[in-house]
Each structure stands twice: as C-alpha cells, then as structure tokens.
Chain A
Amino acid sequence: MSTESPQARAATGVLSARSLCVGYAGQALLPPIDLDLGAGRVTAILGRNGAGKSTLVKTLLGTLKPISGTIRRLKTPLKIALMPQTRELDFQLPITVREFASWGSLSGRGCLCRPWSTRGEGALVDRVLGELGLGELGGRFLRELSEGQQQRVLFARVLATQADLALLDEPTAAMDAVFQAEVMARLGQMARERSMAVVVVTHALGALGGAVDDIALLDADAGKVVVGPRDEVLRSETFARRFGSLLPPPPEVSAPHSSAQEEARHG
C-alpha cells in the first residue's frame, strides 16, 4: 500500500497481512484484504458505522482469529499500543491521569515484576502529558475530565508506550477541530520521528489531513475494500460513492498509481 519499492517496504515493514478475511463465527464481513503497515507511516482505516473497522483492528491485534489469510509480524518482538475508544473506559475507576498514562510504559510479561516505574518512565510520562497540555491535570481523576481531555490522556498513554505499531480507535472523535488537527499532526510526527507504524480507525473525514499517508477504505455494504495511498483512495469511485462531496477535492496526484491498488472482490 505504500509507494516505496517492495525492497524498501520489506526493510521498513512492521506488519503485513495477505488475503486477510475478517469477521465473526465464520462469517466474513469484508472481502480479503492485503495490507502492509510500514514504519514511519500513518494508515487510516476509513469506513462508516458497522463497516468492520474495529473487527479489522482486533484481527490485526491478534485478539480475533482471522477467517482466512495470514498476518505476519515483520519485526520481533513487536511492541504494540492500542488507544481504545473513550466509551470503553470505566468511569467508576478512581485513577489519576498520570497513573493512567504511566500504564503506557508497561509491556510484556516482564512488567509483572516491576512494582514501581523507573525515573525515566516517570519523566517520559510527564513530558508527554506536558506536550498535550495535560501537565496540570496529572493528579486529577480521569473520570472528571471532559471526553476530549480523556482522549488526549489516552493519546498520551500511546506516546508513552514507545511502540513499533500504534492502533488508535477513533482517536479524535470527541475533540474540537483545533485538537483534532493537532493530534493528527502529532501522529504523523510521532510516526516519522519514532519510525512507528500508526493505524488510525476513523469515520471522520476531517481526520484525513496531511498526516495520513495511506487509507484502507472499507465498504461492507458494497463488499469492497480500497487500499492505497491517501490521495489515490480519496479519488476512487468507492470513496466518491460512499462519502460523495463531503470532502474538498484532493490535490492533484503527481504520478498515477497502479490500478491494482483498488480491489473490488465482491459484487
């Protein structure tokens, strides 16, 4: 899905899916998907409600078995971070912003034997909270914040993970336009600076700013999946049919991309 040569892609690849069929109880939600997630790139998984976005993410994470196809982790060990939707948070939990963000520094089985965070981890958490304008809120309970602030805390936790692959489920849904743009820009910066593969699940067209490199457009109703560079997908027939004129026309693409990027397996 990236525009790099296969060799370059293989060198920087983080996760690769081939003929991946996702769904529940043997029922495929979407046609088979080929997906390459590369280091330093931001991929948006775009689709309307019920299009199978979260199912695809769960399958990529390994928490849901694929119906068919393969998923290869091209880097081992592969550190993964997940930013769930705020509605998945338990607001009875009396946890402070700082403690919640510090969970980002836990990974693997080894963290079972680490009752305290190191000074470096603490400093990293403070830094990311500060960068996202949450420094003053570190001692506050997560449940007391607005939904937009909670999303920023979730994002801070992802930044604290130092993962190779970050999966973000609707990361900007409750943010105002300013923070949406800021978070998306920060995502692109994070991906490039840390050579991290970032996957953003969204149905918000506003999230598809310049930070997004590639798009996987899921259209469960039409049984189609379009995977490719951002501009190419935005110019595709499937995108036009699903989202019409909701987005201003994308900039001109300098070189036409292979038509093989568009996959129409069903119907």
Chain B
Amino acid sequence: MGDPMTMSWADLWAARELFAAPIACAALAGCALGFLSVFIVLKRMVFISATVSQCAGLGVAFAFFVELFVGLHLPPVLVAALVAIAATLLCAIDPKRVGVSREALLGFVYALSSSLAVLLGEKLAAEAHDVQSILFGTAVLVRELDVWLVAGVGGLILLSGAWTYRALTFAIFDESASRAQGLPVAWIKGALLVAIGAMIGVSTRALGALPIFAFSTLPAVAALRIRLPLKGVLAAAIAIGAFDGVAGYLMAFRFNLPVGASQTAVACLVTIFVLAISKCWTFLNERGMGRPSNAKNTERG
C-alpha cells in the first residue's frame, strides 16, 4: 500500500470524473470489438485485424504530419478510420488478383504501415509521444469526442449486428449456400469489413493499436472455448471484451502501468483462464466426473 508507484482505489474514486471517459471508452470499444472478434477469429482474419490496427495508427500519425508540415487540419480519428477501412478492404481482396498469397499481402501491408508510422513519428518531435500512445496504447485520458465516436460506431455495429443476425451469420459462415438463396453476400461481407475497419479506426485514436488488436481477437478465442451456441458466444465475447477494457484500465491505474499493455495483458490472462477452465471441464467430463459430454454420446456413423 505504501508503494509510491501504486495508487489506491480511493484515488481513482476521487478522480472518477477524469477517468470515467476512458473507462467508458474502453468498455464500449471492448463490447463492439468483442462482437466483431467472433467473425475475425472464425473467418481466420486475425492477421487482417493486426494489420488494420497498425494502419489506423499510421492514419493518426499521418494526420499529425499533414497538420504540422502542410498546415492542413485533418481530424486524426477520421483519417484513422478511413485508412483502416481502406486497409481492411485491401487485405480482403482476392490475393490471386495481385498474384501473391494473402499472408504475403498482409505481411507487406503490416510492415509498410508500421515502418511509416514510426518514420512519421520521428518527424513529429512534439507529437512523438502521441504517436507512441497511438501505437501502444499509453494514453491515460480520452477526449470526450472519441468516447462519443466509439459509442456511436460501436452501438451502430452492435444494433445492426443484432438486427441482421440471421442473415449476417448465414452469409458469412456459409457463403455458397446463402448466395444460392439470393442473399446479398458481397454487400454483407463488405459491410462487415467496413465495420471492422471503422471500429478499429475510431478506437485506435482513443486506446492505441495494441489493445485494439487484442480486443479484436482474444474475446472470441476465450468465448469459443465456452460451450455455447453462436448467439451465446457473441454475447460472451461482448462481455469479455468490455471486461478486458475496464479491468485493464483499472490495473494500469492501480499499479501505475501503461494502459494499452495492461488491457492487452488482462485480455491474455482472461483467455488463459477460460482455456484452463475449459480444459479442466473436458478432463472431468472424460472421466465421468462432470456433466456427461454430448460429444461422447454422439452416434458416429
């Protein structure tokens, strides 16, 4: 308790007006990205998420750069969102069209965006700290505008995801059959990609690329280990994403740690915890000590 490097919960409560916005922002981003993470993980787009979050960081650095050297003010969040959406669509194109594998394309875009973000950051002596914050999520405070943007875009994604749930899941997880049944599969896939890009774009300015990548993958990794149907997995991923964001922020505050790294570490710990519980559950079921496993009783033909 007496460690000067740590702060008490009473300190946090006393400064609640200051920290309410970043905590709310982390929770909202965690919810929306947790929802999207199920699609990202099940459709094996994890590297797209990593690349897009780096590109969003580049977008913010680029906006600072243009303002400083050209004198043109570009809203960093808007530039980040646009670059993220463009990167998502670029990464999603059929790799055969450009004559390389998807992994090669992703690797190229990731390396290019990361290096450009660092190079631009070097030219921005005054904003260098901001660029670092964006890339690794060291920002403690969040602007109110960012909270509203995250809430707006995240809320829209969750509402439209719930409203179109059946068509969305059918089109994303069984493309050929849904296309045959006349669903606008290309539009639905495009909308999902734009949603991923937009959410990563608006969240990166507020929270940083590193925790955004964690929120857009790890909640689903954990939720998919829980024996739940798809709707339950989506709900669990939303809850886990929100928990990761809030608990990570609180841990950073309590132990005076970088916020983004703390949120990412919490997301990893939650995932490990759920994986361990899931393994134990399977172990107990296999020995008949828990609820009988359905898989064991399944008629295999």
CB within 8 Å of B: which A62-113 residues: 63, 77, 79-84, 88-90, 92-96, 99, 102-104, 106-109, 111-113
Compute how far the CA of A211 lies from the CA of B299 in the bound complex, rounded to whole angstroms. Answer: 28
Of B176, B233, B295, the residue contacting A63 (CB under 8 A) is B176
Compute how far the CA of A256 lies from the CA of B142 in the bound complex, rounded to whole angstroms. Answer: 82
Q: Verify if A127 is at the interface (C-beta below 8 Å from B).
A: no
Which of these binds chain B: A7-15, A41-49, A144-152, A202-210? A144-152
Compute how far the CA of A161 lies from the CA of B183 in the bound complex, rounded to whole angstroms. Answer: 13
Q: 1/0 per residue A124-153: CB within 8 Å of B?
A: 000000000000000011001111110000
Q: Verify if B129 is at the interface (C-beta below 8 Å from A).
A: no
Please tell me if the beta carbons of B177 and A83 are within 8 angstroms of each other in the complex: yes
Q: Verify if B179 is at the interface (C-beta below 8 Å from A).
A: yes
Please tell me if the beta carbons of A94 and B233 are within 8 angstroms of each other in the complex: yes
Please tell me if the beta carbons of A107 and B182 are within 8 angstroms of each other in the complex: yes
Q: Verify if A174 is at the interface (C-beta below 8 Å from B).
A: yes
Q: Verify if A61 is at the interface (C-beta below 8 Å from B).
A: yes
How many whole Å from A49's CB to the nearest CB in chain B? 19
Please tell me if the beta carbons of A80 and B163 are within 8 angstroms of each other in the complex: no
Q: Verify if B276 is at the interface (C-beta below 8 Å from A).
A: no
Q: Verify if B184 is at the interface (C-beta below 8 Å from A).
A: yes
Please tell me if the beta carbons of A82 and B300 are within 8 angstroms of each other in the complex: no
Provide the residues of chain A in CB contact with B173, threshold 8 Å: 90, 93, 95
Compute how far the CA of A77 lies from the CA of B162 in the bound complex, rounded to whole angstroms. Answer: 28
Provide the residues of chain B in CB contact with A108, threshold 8 Å: 181-183
How many whole Å from B38's CB to the nearest CB in chain A? 9
Q: 1/0 per residue B111-129: CB within 8 Å of A?
A: 0000000000000000000
Compute how far the CA of A18 lies from the CA of B224 in the bound complex, rounded to whole angstroms. Answer: 48
Nearest neighbor of A90 in chain B, beta-carbon distance: B173
Contact A103/B178 with A90-B42, A117-B166 known, Cβ cut-off 8 Å:
yes
Q: 1/0 per residue B219-234: CB within 8 Å of A?
A: 0000010011110110
Contact A114/B42 with A80-B180, A90-B173, A94-B233 known, Cβ cut-off 8 Å:
no
Provide the residues of chain B in CB contact with A175, threshold 8 Å: 301
Please tell me if the beta carbons of A149 and B166 are within 8 angstroms of each other in the complex: no
Q: Verify if A4 is at the interface (C-beta below 8 Å from B).
A: no
Please count how many residues in chain A sit with their CB below 8 Å of the partner chain's CB atoms.
47
Instruction: Other than A94-B233, A112-B167, A114-B166, give 4 A-B pairs with Cβ distance below 8 A.
Output: A90-B42, A140-B298, A145-B298, A157-B177
B→A interface (CB under 8 Å): 42, 162-167, 169-170, 173-174, 176-184, 188, 224, 227-230, 232-233, 294-295, 298-301
A→B interface (CB under 8 Å): 61, 63, 77, 79-84, 88-90, 92-96, 99, 102-104, 106-109, 111-117, 140-141, 144-149, 157, 161, 163, 167, 174-176
Can you pick out 21 interface pairs between chain A and chain B where the beta carbons lie within 8 Å of each other?
A63-B176, A84-B176, A92-B42, A93-B42, A93-B173, A94-B224, A94-B229, A95-B169, A102-B166, A103-B169, A103-B177, A107-B183, A109-B184, A111-B167, A112-B183, A115-B165, A141-B294, A146-B298, A146-B299, A146-B300, A167-B180
